[in-house]
Amino acid sequence: MNQNPDIKSAIDVLQAYWGYDSFRPGQKEAIGSVLEGNETMVLFPTGGGKSLCYQVPSLILDGLTLVISPLIALMHDQVEQLGKRDIRAAFINSTLPAYEIEQRLVNARNGMYRLLYVSPERLTTERWKNELPNLNVSLVAVDEAHCISEWGHDFRPAYRHIRSELSDLPDSVRWMALTATATPEVKSDILKCLEFTEPAIVSAGFSRPNLRWWVTQTDKKQDVFMNAVRKGVHKGSGIVYTDTRKDCEQKAARLSSAGISARAYHGGMKPDVRESVQNEWVSGRVPVVVATNAFGMGIDKSDCRFVVHFTIPFSPEAYYQEAGRAGRDGKEAFPILIWKEADETRLKSRILRSYPQYETLKKVYEGICDELGLATGSEHTQAEPVDLSSVCKRTALSKSEVKSSVEVLQRLEILEKIEFHKARTGVHFLVGKDYLETMIRKEEGAKAEFVDMLIRLFAPHAFGGFHYQDTPLVLEKLKINENSLMKGLHVLRDHDRILDIRQMGEQPLFRVTEPRMQKLQVDHDAVYHYRDVLLKKLEYMSGYAKTTRCREVYLRTYFGETNAKPCGHCDNCQSGNRNLGGKQNSVAVEDIKKVENLLKAGSLTPDVIQAETGWNRDKVKAVVSWLEREQRVKQSQDGTIILN
């Protein structure tokens, strides 16, 4: 049988640029569908190789592949990796100055790139809209497509406008959507929002046969955590996820004091420190990273042997994605969840607290606008750094209130917030080049050399405004450490008054998406609808922790695979479910059958079930609770129990 010539070309590209002789399961089908011109949806698990599904076609199709990506870190990493393979690619996002965006768009127009990565918010800008007709786009790849859906775990409102913002593209342009985590509702939402009519859906399934899913319910979580990591490091490197920065620091310190090399990783650390931790873990120099969920996106390490969650995440999608970073090489690995009932209560409380009242939202919106110096009715075209601690002082609100308000304002598309992958240093010269050259001649020595190198690095653009360079690059060129750099810049700013400086990375960038409102207008239903979505997802995640069925079956069913078979190697499968409720609230199979048989005759109250079985009240409650969790019974409004 002759192979499709397009697929033959794809295999040639794979060998030439990646050095592989064959595709992973599903990749060939996805690439073949794109090359045939089909609308294509790709559903691959974490580590399944989604990126190749658009990167390979980009080297075969005539024209530009436009990749919509949600995270700056992912854009940086992908473009960097492609560059190492001599594949021309670039990204455009709000971290770049206007002149750099302009230059990259000119390059894209002239056919210099095979791939161009952009954030969804970029599509709404006038500069982009003016340039789009000049770009020879052949393929649009919507990465992390679950961000489209409110039922997705990383909902990003701008994703819902992708199709309309790109509506002027010709019909010949191919479209594809890619995600690792899509429930049936999310999948339906993606297809509807991207206006896919007859899509080819390529799914590698959500089975991870090499993963040994394990859950431990305990009140002695610290002891279980230490034992799990001790066992894990004998097999290889791993990740411990916890939900606060303080926890990261404490647990990393505890592991280190026990002789296990570990580093903390969280959003409160400087970008260069985070990058250093990441590199040490990927290279194997440090076996364990204790992190918040900020760790992992875009990290390519196939031999992670265990992932421990110290508390339950907010959703099965987040858990599947984070736990799925174990065993990407196909060898045996262990995702371990440690939890207790109080975790669910605490997380539920956090969700409820994270949705502030209107007056709080209004104060934060006005505080950020004031920090940016934005007058009523003024437009804000360029993202700028904002010190949220200053917003706290302006508004007399706590840090958590400001943070939660920012997240809601983002979701309502009132604010755009940008986090940084690498620290960047910005310089704006306040005097002319002639003045600086005169200064260099007068000063001579180390100071003169310092100013001369700053001119080389930041001119000519820094004479007209702030120009930014990656801080590691500046340090390398100047051959100094970060403390010396900042000391020298502060002298030139505060004593010589020849420049101004800004540091990006420590503070997020913000852009107010519409002209400043005199009075903040918000859609109340939109604000609180997503809160209810999160509460429902937490309920499903709690169900995973409590289920006595096969854990892989639970996850695969959640993601829409209705015919999943028990994996045979998760903790529930291995225990044989002889005692379905665990040691604390033992529920035997025969107890379950007894209650179900009683309910076949009709609904019963718990008191009647107690009388019929002769059990005590606690046992009746345990059995009924188990049946409710497994959705085999439900409780009516009058308190009676009925079969589902």
Q: What is the pLDDT of residues 42-80, one digit of tens each?
A: 998 777 788 999 999 999 999 999 999 987 767 888 898
State which amino acid sits at residue 543: G
Query: Looking at residue 2, what is its pLDDT?
Result: 38
pLDDT at 153: 60
**What is the rounded CA–CA span in Å between residue 579 and residue 595?**
16
The predicted pLDDT at position 172 comes to 92
The one-letter amino acid at 3: Q
Q: Which pLDDT does position 505 carry in this prediction?
A: 65
C-alpha to C-alpha distance for 1 and 56, rounded to whole angstroms: 23
Is the pLDDT confidence value at 114 over 50? yes
Q: Domain spanning 207-339+536-559: which CATH class is it, in words?
A: alpha beta
Pure H helices in 372-432: 388-395, 399-411
> Which of 262, 277, 527 has the alpha carbon at shortest distance from 407?
527
Q: Is the pLDDT of residue 287 over 80?
A: yes
Percent of the chain with pLDDT over 90: 45
* pLDDT tens digits, 230-240: 999 999 999 99
Class of domain 578-644: mainly alpha
pLDDT at 529: 81
Of 346-350, 382-386, 538-542, the poorest mean pLDDT is in 382-386
SS3 label, residue 363 = helix
- Alpha carbon distance 525, 321 (integer Å): 29
Q: Does the pLDDT of residue 582 top 50, yes or no? A: no
- Mean pLDDT value of segment 434-450: 89
Look at 599 and 139; give whichever has higher pLDDT: 139
Q: Over pLDDT 70: what percentage of the chain?
A: 93
Q: How far apart are CA 425 and CA 216, in angstroms?
A: 46
Burial 319-353, CB ≥16 within 10 A → b, else e: bbbbbbbbbbeeeebbbbbbbbeebbeebbeebee
Encode pLDDT of 191-212 as tens digits: 999 999 989 999 888 888 999 9
CB-side neighbour CA atoms (13 Å) of 28:
14
Phi then psi dihedrals of residue 643, to 5 deg: -70, 145
CATH pick for 5-203 out of 3.90.550.10, 3.40.50.970, 3.40.50.300, 3.40.50.2300: 3.40.50.300
Residue whose tokens read 């918040």 = 292
Cis peptide before 316 (omega within 30 of 0): no
Q: Are 135 and 62 in contact (CB under 8 A)?
A: no
Helix (H) or strand (E) holding 145: none
pLDDT digits (tens, 9 = 90+) for 398-420: 988 998 899 889 888 888 887 65
Question: Helices 316-323 and 551-558 meet at what angle, rounded to 10?
Answer: 120
pTM of the model: 0.70
| Among 103-117, 293-307, 579-593, the least confident range | 579-593
For 483-512, the pLDDT digits (tens) are 899 999 999 999 999 999 987 765 678 889
Continuous H helices in 85-213: 98-109, 126-131, 162-165, 184-193
Distance, CA of 468 to CA of 37 (rounded, Å): 41
Q: What average pLDDT does the chain have?
A: 87
Q: Please write the tens of the pLDDT for every residue from 146-173.
A: 888 766 667 777 888 899 999 999 999 9
Query: Which burial class, exposed, middle or buried, applies to 109 when counting CB atoms under 10 A from its CB (0-12, 13-18, 19+)?
Result: middle
The DSSP result for 527-547, as a single string, is HHHHHHHHHHHHHHHHHHHH-
Beta-bridge mates of residue 428: 500
The predicted structure's pLDDT at residue 580 = 44
Level-2 CATH architecture, domain 349-421+508-522: Orthogonal Bundle (1.10)
Once rounded to an integer, what is the mean pLDDT over residues 1-30? 83
Residue 297 is predicted with a pLDDT of 65
- H or E element that contains 486: helix 482-494
Candidate from 107-111, 459-463, 582-586 with smallest mean pLDDT? 582-586
Please state which of the ranges 171-175, 269-273, 445-449 shows the lowest mean pLDDT: 269-273
